[in-house]
Every structure is written in C-alpha cells, then in structure tokens.
Structure 1
Amino acid sequence: MSWRMLTGHQLCRLCLLRKPQPALKTKHSAYVTYETDSQANKESKRTVGRLHACSVDIRKIRRLKAWVLLEDNTYVEEIANILKELGANKTVIASILERCPEAIVCSPAAVNGKKKLWQMVCKNEAELIRLIEQFPEPFFTVKDQENQKLNVQFFQELGLKNVVISRFLTTASSIFHNPVENNRRMIGVLQESYLNFGGSQANAKVWLLKLLSQNPFILLSSPTAVAQVLQFLQGQGFTNSEVLQLLSKLKGFLFQLQPGSIQSSMSFTKATFECTDHDLRQLVVNCPALLCYPATVLEERIQALLKEGITVTQIRESPMVLELTPQIIQYRMRKLNSLGYRIKDGHLASLNGTKKEFEANFSKMQAKQGRPLFNPVASLHVEE
C-alpha cells in the first residue's frame, strides 16, 4: 500500500504504531521508585523521625552522607540537647546536623568531652556555639581527645593566646592529632634553627609564636626535612641572615619544599634573568616565591607578562609580580589602563600586592587623577 493511498484514519493508526510507547518510561520510573523505596526501607525510621522532629532536611543528609541514616545506634536527641544547652536555637541545631550529619553517631559522652576541650580556649558558651556552627566537622571529630587536650595545654604553656589556639582547633585540627611529643620536638627544632642562624634569644619566642600563628602546619614537618632544606640553602651560599629572612617571609612553608624542586626553580630563574649567583640570591630574598613555584609555573607567568608588552628587565626589577596569576595580571592591567597608566612603559610595583592593597592603591590613583589642578577656593598669594 503506497503513502498516497493511505486515508487520514489509517495515517493516525500508523502514527500510533510508530510512536514510542510509554511502557519503557513507566518501567524506568518504577525502577527508580523501587530503588528509592528500597533505600528508604533500609534507613532507620527512628533516626529519620527524630531528625524530622529537629526540623532537619533529610534530603540534604541523603545527598551529603546518607550512610548515617542506615546506622542503628544514633543520638539525635542527645546531640541536639547538648547544642541546646550551649545556647543554640532550633534553626542553628538543624543547620549543624544538616552540614555535619555524622554528629548523630557520636556518643554524648565523647561530645561532652570535646565540649570541655573547646571550653579551655573559649571565653564563654556563646563563643563556643558560634565556633561549632561555623566549623561543625572539627568539633564532632572526637578521637584522640586526651592527646588533643595535652596539645592545647602545651600551646597555652608556649604562650599562644587562646583566640589563636581556637583558630587552630577549627582550621588546623590535624596538628592536635599529632602526638604532643612530636609537636614539642618540632618547636625545639625551630627554636634551635632560629638561634643557630643568628637570631637573638630575646626575640626567639616572639619569632616562633608569630611563625606558628601564620602557619601552624609547620608542626607537621619532620626535623629531617627542616635540616635538609636549611643545609641546602647554606650550600647555595645564602647567609644566616638571608636564611632567616626566607624562613620568616615564607611563613614556614619553606619546609614543605624539596631541595630538588628548589634547585630546579633557582636554575630556571638564573637562566631567565641571566644573573650571577649573588644576584640570584638577592632576587630570591626579595621574592621568596621564586623558590616555591615550579619552573613550569614561573615560565607560564613570565610568558604571560611578555605578551602584555612587559620586558624581562622590568620583571627582574620587580620580581614580586610573579606571585600573581596571568588572570590577575590582565585584570589589574585593564584597571590601570583605564586611568591611562601604561604599565609596559613604567614600573611594575603598581601591579603588586594583595587584592586589598591593589584596590586601595588604585583608589588613590583614581582620586588623584580626578583632583582639579586649580583649587578655586584656595587663597592666592599675590604680590601687591
């Protein structure tokens, strides 16, 4: 039967036959529903019910850490009560449990122990609950509590302020799981290194506390790594004073580098800027980032600057510009160009600094450019 001979009624019937049937869709939907129902059936109804009672969005927990809903032993009400006693309202409690669902599998005794630990450095319960709300995961990591307590006491004896220790607890919690003996040993190594490289005994404590405040993760380094890096820098001709400057400027991140990677970066820098060993050391002291970035990263950033019309000589005069990514350079150059300032014809110092520092300098330049050359209200000094 040809297409011309089909009637309208026959065409409709043919379309129905050729049209994909909804059976597969129904089967797929049924399959998904079956899987969801199966997962829901495995969840602890008791746990889900108690979370609902706390106004917790169960869907968020299913997306984040669904495994906690399968646990038989949970402590929803107990954990909620501990938070409530600290002054948390229902909204805060729900938010904490949604972002850190594993809190409900922590025993109340362990959580109370962690509460006492954090209270050692918190002024009051209001500050404590604020920290828990911002950083629930470190708080509900309840292992090694005795070791954590010993580390808190050690840091207090060392002279660190409680506000600094509380910051460590929330953002550098791994150092509290480090055995207190290891932390004590690393502090000793840092103090000894400072004194051996010409630091004064009077300034040793201040220097050490500042270094720890800037980078607490330095405690996770090993004495061997510290010795290797310091010996390598001495072998490269850096003076004791220069080594201390590098250590302070890099905030201790120096010990996270390997001598091999440092050597590679220094060799690239020396070849690129065609400088002597003495000049190379001065460049590195002025811009310690030259030690941190791999040669590939340095090359990429130098190439990006060259494409903007900046010369190697300019980069050598202001090496701090290599701390900025090509994207940041392009953004800052566009802003400065909008004021008519041509970077490639001047000094690169105006590109440097943190975002806050750059924006402040840019605002000053903008205000200066908009200021009239003649002030009509200023008094005129005219000879009579």
Structure 2
Amino acid sequence: MAQRRFLLFLWPVRRCAPLPVASRFCSSKQTKFEIPLVHLENESLLENLSSMGVDLASARRRQPGVLRKQLTNEQGLALFLKTKGADPETIASIISRFPRSITRSCEHLEERWTLWRNVFKSDHEVVGILSRSPESFFRSSDNKNLEENISFLMSLGITTKDLHRLLTTAPRTFSNSVELNRNMVELLQSICVSLCGNDPKLFARTIISRNLYIFIRSTNRIRANVDFLTSSLSLSNSEALALFQSHGAQILDLSHESLKKNSESLRRKLRSLGCGADDFKAMILNYSLVLFISSERLNEKVDCLIEAGIHPQQIVQKPKVLDFSLPSIRQRLHHLKRLGYDFQKSGIAVLDTSKKRFSAKLERLGSPEE
C-alpha cells in the first residue's frame, strides 16, 4: 500500500470534471452617490453565504477583502466538499474560518485534493483535517509548488506519517518554494558534516521529524542557535549530534535573543543554588526544552521545588519536571507531603508523570502495604 501511494506522486495530477455549479459573478446595484463598489461588501455574496450558515462576523474579521469580491465559487466549493463527505455545518465552518476558500476554482480543488489523498488514507480523513484547520488546505493556491515540495521531501526519505504531520501542523512549509526548503535541508546536512557526523541525510531527516516547524524558520536563526548552544555548553561533536537529534531539535525554534536570555537566566539561577557549569550543561543535555521557560516562571518553579526539600542536583537530573505548570507542581507537592513522601530517599521522578500515573502512585503510597 505504501509503495502504491508513493507511485501516485509519479502520475500526473488528475483534472477534475466540471462541477454542476460554476463560479458566479456577484453583483449589486450602485448609484453615482454611493461609495465605489470596490470599498463595499458584495450584498449578493453575503446573502448567499448567510443562507449557507456561514458566520459572516467571523469571515469579516478574518479575511474582509473576500466579502468584496465579485467572482467567487462558494456554491462550487460547497458541492465539492459535499461529494467528499462534508456536511453543511462543516462546510459553513470552513468558510467562516478561512473565507478565501471560496475563491478556489473547481479544477484547483480537484488537483489539490488528489495531492492530499496521496498522503492521507481517505476523503474522510482529509475532511476531518479541513474541519480543524482549513488554512492547511486552502492557504496556498499553488498546486504545482505543493506537488514539488511533497516530491522533494519524499526524496529525503521523509515518511508518509511525517508528511501527514507537516501538512496539518506546519502547512506553511508547502507554501515555501522548493528552493527555500532545500536551503534548510542543506544547512542541516552541513551542520552534521561540521560536527563530523557520518550520515547528513539521516541527521536532517531526524531534525525535521522532531521539529515540524523547522522549514518556517530562517536558516540564519537555526545556524545562530546551533553555534550558540555548541559553544556556550562546550559540547563535543558527539554531544552536539546527540542533542540536536533529540529534544534539542525543538529548541532551535526559539528566537536567538530569547535563547540567549533564557540560557543566561537558567545559568544564574543554578549558580545561586551552588551549581556550576557542568550542572548547567548536564541540565540542558538532560532536557533542553527547559530553555523555553521564561526567567520569571523558571525561578518560581525552581524555588517551589527547593522549598519542598528537593535538592538542586535532583532538578538538574530531572529538569522535565519544570515543564509542568506552577499550580500543578504545588498541588503534587502538597499531596506527596501529606503522605510523608521523602524526596531525598525516593527521588523526584514521581513529579514527572502523567496525571493518571500520579494518581495511581498516590493510591499505592496511601495503601497499608506501601
């Protein structure tokens, strides 16, 4: 099945058969004393959209210019989506949240749907994605660019699963030119080579899989963040390769200034607790996403844990606990204190668990056997 889906990319895109309802020219009367038509909303279009259940206030807030257009295809779009399994409520919601969808021709819709169906399993799945994120499907009008980007990414070995995630999570990737996306891949591969990695293609593919937003960031940002982390942590080549192919791939998203600011804040906080440069490095290697936390929030969370009797070295070794909100950390500390939990004896891994697991742990701690 996967092989058949891949081969579909080699076939020319199908041209759709004309839908019964074509694009229509909306018109409204205008006297010589009225504001020029270009500044007015199209009354005929508004009536049509309203009869379809479209939230005009939402459409006007999101893309007001669409409501002034004279040539639109809302009826053709509605019929097209209906043939794919969308109900009237879903169609109205899609138009309300992304009004520009009504400017796409029937031919364009058929072409784009075919390209998406080469990635997704069924029409039902595509409709579900459109209902959650209309922008992912309608944002770009360049089907050829979409096809070229999909082919390019698949040539890198990007899996269908990751293409699925890219289309739904970071659709702007496919609005980029292929050349722009190729520049990012070449940068990632060059970083691997500079770190003496032996598989640049795998390195790039791994980072893309772990950071779906990588293609909508600038190459300058990624290069600057890689250089900063490598130098400020005094990373060896092997440490840097391991970091950027794991949770470190996501930290490349941060603006360079935020990365430096949050890094320095964390370094100062650890220093105030008696921790040195090695502890700072260990903390980032254990869980670099701690650098997403603002300095104010970081200090509050660390202070809360220290006040509960947790040793700084325990936080260094288990920094993921700082991912939880401050109220959640406080609540968990309260429950554990009530049960007489000893962090020095039993560690703090209990704080870094799902809500379900934490509740089960509390039940065990409260049982006579425990």
**TM-score bracket for this pair, using the shorter chain length:** 0.7 to 0.9
Counterpart-to-counterpart distance in 2, 1:321 and 1:177:
37
* Root mean square deviation, CA, Å: 3.2
Partner of 2:252: helix, strand, or coil?
A: helix
Q: Is this contact kept in 2: 1:305–1:326, CA < 8 A?
A: no
Q: Does 1:184 align with 2:156?
A: no
Q: Is this contact kept in 2: 1:110–1:142, CA < 8 A?
A: no
Counterpart-to-counterpart distance in 2, 1:290 and 1:162:
30
Alignment match, 1:261: 261
Counterpart-to-counterpart distance in 1, 2:55 and 2:266:
54
How big is the shift at 1:79?
Answer: 0.9
Match of 2:241 among 228, 241, 244: 244
Q: Which has the larger radius of gyration?
A: 1
Which residues of structure 1 form unaligned runs of 5+?
Answer: 1-41, 374-384
Counterpart-to-counterpart distance in 1, 2:55 and 2:183:
46
Q: Is this contact kept in 2: 1:265–1:291, CA < 8 A?
A: no
Q: Is this contact kept in 1: 2:85–2:123, CA < 8 A?
A: yes
Counterpart-to-counterpart distance in 1, 2:344 and 2:62:
50
Counterpart-to-counterpart distance in 2, 1:207 and 1:289:
19
Alignment match, 1:288: 288
Q: Does 1:363 align with 2:354?
A: no
Counterpart-to-counterpart distance in 1, 2:69 and 2:219:
42
The AA in structure 2 aligned to 1:210 is: T
TM-score by length of 1: 0.72
Counterpart-to-counterpart distance in 1, 2:88 and 2:253:
43
Q: Does 1:220 align with 2:216?
A: yes
Q: Does 1:324 align with 2:320?
A: no
How big is the shift at 1:243?
Answer: 1.3
Match of 1:232 among 221, 228, 232: 228
Q: Is this contact kept in 1: 2:282–2:316, CA < 8 A?
A: no
Alignment match, 2:205: 209
How big is the shift at 1:101?
Answer: 3.0
Counterpart-to-counterpart distance in 2, 1:337 and 1:232:
40
- Number of matched pairs: 327
Counterpart-to-counterpart distance in 2, 1:218 and 1:60:
30
Q: Does 1:277 align with 2:277?
A: yes
Q: Relative contact order: is structure 1 or structure 2 higher (C-alpha 8 Å, sep ≥ 6)?
A: 2
The AA in structure 2 aligned to 1:256 is: D
Q: Is this contact kept in 2: 1:197–1:244, CA < 8 A?
A: yes
* Matched-pair identity in %: 27
Counterpart-to-counterpart distance in 1, 2:295 and 2:365:
39
Q: Deviations over 1:47-103 (max 9, x none)?
A: 233334434455664676665444333222111111122232333323323333332
Give the number of the structure whose residues are more often helix, by fraction.
Answer: 1
Distance 1:196-1:371 versus aligned 2 partners, 3 A rule:
farther
Counterpart-to-counterpart distance in 2, 1:297 and 1:351:
17
Counterpart-to-counterpart distance in 1, 2:365 and 2:276:
40
